[in-house]
Amino acid sequence: MLISKRTFIKSFGALLGGLLLFGCRKQGEKSLSRVRPVSIPDIKKQIKEAMKNQKPLDSLVAIPVPSSLKAFPNATNRFGMAIDLDLCDGCGECVLACNLENNIPLVNEYQASKNNYMHWIELRDQIPVTCFHCGDAPCEKVCPTGAAVHSPDGVSAMVYARCAGTRFCGVNCPIKIRKFNYVDALDEGLQFISNPEVPVREQGVIEKCSLCLHRIQNARLKAKTIGKEFLGENVTTACAEACPKGAILFGNWLDPNSLLYKKARGRGVYTLSSIAPFDPSVVYFKGVR
């Protein structure tokens, strides 16, 4: 024998330990110098690619107009959106506006080839699909850390700093609209920073439509400063703002003066069949009731 057993075991142990330590080493702080600027045409290109191979859509089913949440029966707000399918022509402007508003990163070529994009709004069969902010959200029930929580305003929120990345919420979402940050987009040069109000998500957390929470909170702060009750006036989401047909409406389902509430009168209210049991806050308008 060339080496004794003892030497073999010793050197083997040292090798394993060294490899393990090497694997667990602290990665250096990410330098911003490596960031390659991402331009708006890059984003437009990926949106176009995503629109070319759209995922299939579940069937639509009629549901009643959203009313107050079970968990917060005394709340005065329940923010939500409606997408008017009679007006929507699937142009994809809302996706671009959402990407710019929320600093949504691009994906690398490998993920793009597999048709996995980070877009919070997806077009499926020409219909925009986003997080439905379910009142009885399945994702929030299974999140072990409480990073996916419901605000009393009816927003299904994500606390990025609390997310450990178990991805249970993504598994339990019936329409798989939650997106996981597989790479550090800032480090990979995939991050486009256009809106300083929205934090850049780190690698390893889930993200999804926030109903432009930063806009809601800014308006709420303003209302509080002047001492007014906040019912969601003067707020709209980026997608609703950008829609050339005015097909997307943002508003408060519990405020009778809200435009959303008024427009819902007499309209057929629909949602996807897999989402219907969970009391969604974002709905589709189609035809008349």
Partner 1 sequence: MVKKLFIVGLILLIPGIWTLFQALSIGPASWALDQSLFWGTPIVNFVFWIGLAHAGTFLSAILLILEVRFQKRISLVAELSTIAAILVASIFPLIHLGIVSRFYFLIPFFNERNIFANFSSPLIWDFVAIFVYLCISIFYIVTHLLSLKHASLLKTRKVLAWILFPLVLWVHTIVSLDFAVTTNNLWQGAYFPIYFILGALFSGLALVVFLLEVQKRRVRKIEELLIAASWLLFVFWIWEFFQKGVWHFEVVFFGFVIVQLLWIPVLRKQKAFRLFVSFSVLISMWLERYVLIIPLDIEWLPVDYGWFALGIGLFLSVFFGLYLLIQKHNPLVFYVSAEESNEKYSRKVLWGILAGAVVFALLYFALNYPLDTSVPLMNWIPVLFPLFSLFAGLSFFALGVYSVVPKKQFFLVSGLLVLILGGAFGAFYAGGDTNLGVESKIISVERVSKNNRPVKDLWASRCASCHGLKGEGNRKFIYEFYPEIQDLTLERLNSQGEDSLTQVVLKGRAFMNPFEGRVSEPEARALIRYMYQLAEEKE
The binding site for partner 1 (CB under 8 A) comprises 12, 15-16, 19-20, 22-24, 27, 29, 32, 71, 103, 111, 114, 116-118, 138, 141-146, 160-168, 170-174, 176, 179-183, 186, 193, 195-196, 199-200, 202-206, 221, 224-225, 227, 274
Q: What distance in Å separates the CA atoms of residue 2 and residue 8, rounded to the nearest whole number? A: 10
Beta carbon of residue 88, minimum distance to partner 1 (angstroms, whole number): 23
Report in angstroms how near the CB of residue 75 gets to partner 1 at its nearest: 13
Residue 93 phi, psi dihedral angles, 5° rounding: -65, -35
How distant, in Å, are the alpha carbons of 29, 178, 183, 187, 285 from that of 26? 9, 29, 17, 16, 51
Is residue 116 exposed (0-12), middle (13-18) or buried (19+ Cβ within 10 Å)?
Answer: middle
Q: Among residues 119 and 267, whose Cβ is nearest to partner 1?
A: 119
Where does the chain have alpha helices with state H? 5-23, 40-52, 93-101, 109-113, 138-142, 168-172, 185-188, 213-225, 238-242, 259-264
The strand pair at 179-180 and 248-252 is best described as unpaired
Dihedral over alpha carbons 92, 97, 98, 104 (to 10 degrees): 100
Residue whose CB is less far from partner 1, 40 or 171: 171
Is the CB of 202 or the CB of 241 nearer to partner 1?
Answer: 202
Minimal distance, residue 253 CB to partner 1, in Å = 20
Nearer to partner 1, 138 or 268 (CB): 138
- Which one, 152 or 246, has the nearer CB to partner 1? 152
> Closest distance between partner 1 and the C-beta of residue 189, in Å?
14
CB of 162 to partner 1, least distance (A): 7
